[in-house]
Amino acid sequence: MRIVHVTPYFAPAFVYGGPPRSVLGLCRALGRAGADIEVVTTTANGEGELPAAAAAQTTFDDVAVTYVPRSFPRRYFRAAGLEEALDRQASGCDLVHLHGCWNAFGWAAARWCRRADVPYVVSPRGMLHPWSFRSGRIKKWAGYRVMERPTLGHARFIHATSPHESDEIARLGLGVDVVVVPNGLEDLGPASGGERDAFRAKFGFHADNFVILFLGRLHPKKGLDALLDAMRQVAAVRPDARLLVVGDGEPRYVASLRALARDLVDTGRIRFAGHLTGEDRRAAFASADAFALTSHAENFGMSVAEAIGAGLPVVVSRGCPWPQIETWRAGFWVDNTPDQVADALVSLAVDRPAAREMGERGRRAIREHLGWDRLAADMLQAYSRALEQRPHQS
């Protein structure tokens, strides 16, 4: 089966958080399962661009990729060379898999598919959550009715990464099948004790500090204001607690976040690490004692899976679809309020042996349930069923 994945951003543009990692993981696993996989994407890399030539075809981690330069206005991921790239890379393929919503790249790709009579499926990647519609409400609803709904309505199926996301999509009344296949997890590998201490020292943390990790895109959706307020409460009870914030975002928002956290920065209780990749990113997980994510809304929360896979106990808000944290006894699934987040973090900090046991239970459970190869087989079955369907006429 030949499948072309179309996404507005892709590896190594990890500044966009979980989606580039999860799409890469899926493509690699589909390739291992015998599918012929290609990716068509833009050169987007946050405020900058990836150093790719016009419509350059290359490989990233054994995945064939065509990078198409963005056109003005860049923020909407418009790319004048997209149709030419699809004519070359997607003509004759069995299926196109679109990732993300609210971008001109995906809308144009869907129009190309309908014109070329190529079936397609869509992964919204959490972008149909009610929280997303509240951001820029008038423009979002106009864009949804004119562009997004027709794109979704002609899909063979819509891919959700959790039952919670599936329910949100179903409420839109699109009349399109929704298939749930979670994101998978790549093993980050262990870190040595020396590597752990060296990484901590870079941020002024000591071996006996209780280090809490946040890792993700810095965006209002992530609810970091609640985590900062919670950290003030934690520090009053556990002066040894520290928070490491890993990630980047829109410069004005990052500046406002740093200003909000100035008292914690000045006392050494929080450090902003910026965007980390490769060994530094792996070391961030390996050097932490716990993980916290206080998002208002997530379709999956890739960093939660990575943290649990790294053996960290987690404190995660109910805006993230991770009820299994309670089933696995791998941490705390709480309301996104400073008091609840602080209580959970203090519980971990005051009983470190119990916290480590939580982390180990989570590590065992997630390796059983979220192996990429198993999930790729599920996705291939969904593709096969979709190709047997009559196309939607929405």
CATH number for position 158: 3.40.50.2000
Our CA dihedral for 211, 212, 215, 220, rounded to 10 degrees, sits at -140
Q: Is residue 285 part of a domain?
A: yes
Distance, C-alpha 352 to centroid of its chain: 28
Q: Is residue 74 part of a domain?
A: yes
Inter-residue contact 152 to 122 (CB < 8 Å): yes
Q: Is residue 394 part of a domain?
A: no
Residue 350: closest CA among 206, 208, 210, 232: 210
Whether residues 135 and 145 share a domain: the answer is yes
Residue-level pLDDT at 284: 96
Residue-level pLDDT at 135: 64
In the sheet that 120-123 helps form, which strands lie side by side, from edge to edge? 56-60, 63-68, 36-42, 2-6, 95-99, 120-123, 158-160, 178-180
Whether residues 376 and 364 share a domain: the answer is no
Query: pTM here?
Result: 0.77
Whether residues 166 and 212 share a domain: the answer is no
The Cα 271–Cα 394 span in angstroms is 50
Residue-level pLDDT at 224: 97
Whether residues 159 and 31 share a domain: the answer is yes
Q: Is residue 13 part of a domain?
A: yes
Residue-level pLDDT at 394: 52
Whether residues 301 and 243 share a domain: the answer is yes
Whether residues 197 and 176 share a domain: the answer is no
Residue range(s) defining the domain that contains residue 12: 2-184+371-388
For the chain, what is the domain count?
2
Whether residues 162 and 26 share a domain: the answer is yes
Residue-level pLDDT at 93: 98
The Cα 379–Cα 384 span in angstroms is 9
Residue-level pLDDT at 300: 86
Whether residues 138 and 253 share a domain: the answer is no
Whether residues 10 and 158 share a domain: the answer is yes
What contacts 230, CB < 8 A, 6 or more positions away?
292, 294, 338, 339, 341, 342, 345
Whether residues 213 and 325 share a domain: the answer is yes
Whether residues 291 and 379 share a domain: the answer is no
Residue-level pLDDT at 54: 47
Q: Is residue 339 part of a domain?
A: yes
Whether residues 71 and 219 share a domain: the answer is no
Q: Is residue 393 part of a domain?
A: no
Q: Is residue 64 part of a domain?
A: yes
The Cα 383–Cα 280 span in angstroms is 36
Q: Is residue 17 part of a domain?
A: yes
**Mean pLDDT for back-to-back runs of 10 residues, the chain (394 residues):** 98 90 96 98 92 72 95 90 96 97 96 97 89 68 82 97 92 95 76 78 95 96 96 96 96 95 95 92 94 92 93 96 95 97 98 97 91 94 92 58
Residue-level pLDDT at 129: 79
